[in-house]
Structure 1
Amino acid sequence: MQCQWLNNHPNKVSEVSLGNLEDKQATQSLEVTPVHFKTQFAGYMEMYSDADTVANYLNAHQRWFCRCAAPMKTEPIGNNGYILTVGRFGSFGYDVEPKLAVVLEPSVNGVYDMHSIPIPDEPYLGYEVDYQASMSIKEIPSHLANSGLEKAFRKHDNPQLPEMITKVEWHLAMDVAVQFPKFIHKLPLSMIQKTGDRLLTQIVRQISPRLTYKVQEDFHSGHNLPIPPKTSRHLEKIEESSLDEAA
């Protein structure tokens, strides 16, 4: 995945070649104080089966996680962990290819927690990712499903609708702390902050819907069920004002 921070931005500085960047990084140390970029999202997806069947599938994530996470590079670590390489992105002549290590904890009462951990045997890369997510599953009557369920079953030549389906809901929060080279800090902090927050949000908006669809497709194909339509999944950014009101 290729992402650029300030496409067509009126204050965009001239691009710096990677060669020049390497020279600057060799002569200029990283700024001691990192800049934090944050974003939060909530979403859900519908699975056209009972909660126990969905839970059994999610519990066996070693069978599907790496496949569904593609085209991100993934590497299993331990029994419940993965190292993810998100893709190269950047701006102001400063490019990174971020990695994070995450652990998907076993479910407790239908709730799955996922969080970041230090990448094993990896030197400090100039940034730290704090990823926290929680996912829960619950059965709901099929008549409460979003539009498209009946059509999906008709197209699948299966007129018998399930009485109950499973709704998987989640919330995720990310805090990425980046230690930029000192020459980056010649730019206004507000510009760096706004651009980084926007990019982080853009990355989640690109990756999460794709991963959600692939998980739905993998589960339903494996259980000979119709693939849920786009209306069966949802993702929305949680604005800071909403968080302040909730507090």
Structure 2
Amino acid sequence: MLSKDQEYQVFETNEQIVSVTSSMINAEDVIPDTKLSTPGKFYGHYRDRMDMHAPANTVAKYLDSHNEWFGRCAEPMKVQPLGENGYALAIGKFGSFNYEVEPKIGLELLPPEEGVYRIRTIPIPNYTPPGYDVDYRAKMQLVENLAGDSSINSGHITGVEWELDLVVYIHFPKFIHRLPKSLIQNTGDRLLNQIVRQVSRRLTRKVQEDFHQSIGVNFPKKR
């Protein structure tokens, strides 16, 4: 789908810059600065599609039962249910410039309206994000009868077309602000894209495999 299949990892940049920055760090500098500075803002817009070899109503029924498949398809991310349609996800550990974060966000999978599924961020009870905030807004729509692989064609192919607008605000520690703003922005944008790509690719593949297994249609492990 969107990228090479990579598991959780730390994203690092130029070692010389990191080394110089590390030499300037004091103990108090590693604490996110939530009061004295404007948070860094990183934004991405993404879109893709996954094909399901079944009629749209069958795919819709599967998506509506997300409490049965979301947790196992999201592995190795840790998932905790939040109410009827919500989940808390621990994404993994990512970072740069010797500064790491372990994103954890709450997502609500809203019931469809006029055939459109939406996902949005929700607060996680008794949890305060340590120096970051996430605004996640996604929508999915089912488009039936797309061309596909005839070897596994069940007579219908439904494309799940999705779009995601993702904004991340990060209150960096003081030592990060000593770096050029353009370097911080470019590195943050690349890191955000990396996280979305690897999570999206892995989750898409697992959902496809799980769905086709649930309806008894063979779906190749790899293409």
CA contact (8 A) 2:53 2:155 kept: no
Q: Residue deviations 1:212-242, cap 9 Å, x none?
A: 01001001011110216767xxxxxxxxxxx
Question: Of 94, 108, 121, which aligns to 2:113?
Answer: 108
- Residues 1:226 and 2:207 are matched in the alignment: no
8 Å Cα contact 1:43-1:169 kept in structure 2: yes
| Paired residue total | 213
Unpaired runs of 5+ residues, structure 1, are 154-160, 232-247
RMSD: 2.2
Whether 1:199 and 2:201 are equivalent positions in the alignment is no
Q: What pairs up with 1:166-177 in 2 under 5 angstroms?
A: 166-177=158-169
Structure 1 residues 99 and 230 mapped into 2: Cα distance closer, same or farther (>3 Å)? same
2:147 equivalent among 141, 145, 153 = 145
Pairwise CA distance, 1:179: 0.4
| TM-score, structure 2 normalization | 0.88
Distance in 2, matches of 1:166 and 1:21, equals 55
The two structures have a TM-score, normalised by structure 1, of 0.80
Cα separation, 2, equivalents of 1:189 and 1:83: 32
Q: 1:216 aligns with which of 197, 208, 214?
A: 208
Confirm or deny that 1:36 pairs with 2:41: yes
**Distance (whole Å) between structure 1 residues aligned to residue 204 and residue 129 of structure 2:** 31
**Would the aligned equivalents of 2:33 and 2:171 in 1 still touch at CA under 8 Å?**
no
**Corresponding residue for residue 124 of structure 2:** 119
| Cα deviation 1:130-160 (Å, max 9, x = unaligned) | 01100001211xxx423xx223x3xxxxxxx
- How far did 1:165 drift? 1.8
Q: Is the Cα–Cα contact under 8 Å of residues 5 and 196 in structure 1 kept in the other structure? A: no
Larger radius of gyration: 1
Who is 1:88 aligned against?
Answer: 93
1:4 and 2:11 correspond: yes
Structure 2: give runs of 5+ residues left out of the alignment. 1-7
**How big is each residue's C-alpha offset from its partner over 1:5-45, in whole Å with a ceiling of 9 and x where there is no partner?**
31xx276321749xx7765336x844431000111110001
